[in-house]
Amino acid sequence: MPSLEPFCSITGRLDMNVIGRVPGGMRIDFPFVGSAASSHWEGERPVSGTDYVTVRSDSHMDLDIHAVIGEGRQKVSYSATGVSIAGERGSAFPRELITFETADESLGFLNTAIAVGLGSASDGILSLEIYLVVD
């Protein structure tokens, strides 16, 4: 039976770029920058990316995320899709399915891994825990 193994914790600051009403709802891009900590590397690594959000008619959000953890030869690119549950006063609770790409040999196992991300966002601050799905 598959289980979840902690991979990394991401914290960052969100910005907001309102695109406007689109056929699927209200489109808002949320660029973010922050850091990632993990037992798979020493210290923290920078994180940057954009969360392309469509706010649905039920106020929840469809997510399409593209980001990079690290820099130089230690970069890990990740893509995620998911939904974010709308909370009170602009807070949100993202639930993501994540895949990775990297040329970093020490993290090469990520190229065939999937992960889930569970987090929260409020007042421009993002917190996300990423768990690898392992069997």
pLDDT of residue 120: 97
Does residue 33 register a pLDDT over 90?
Answer: yes
- Give the mean pLDDT of 49-78: 96
Task: Tell me if residue 101 falls in helix, strand or coil.
Answer: strand
Domain that holds residue 85: 3-134
Q: How confident is the model at residue 15 (pLDDT cuts 50, 70, 90)?
A: very high
CA torsion angle 69 67 131 80 (round to 10): -160
pLDDT of residue 23: 94
Give the CATH number for residue 50: 2.40.160.20
Q: How confident is the model at residue 89 (pLDDT cuts 50, 70, 90)?
A: confident
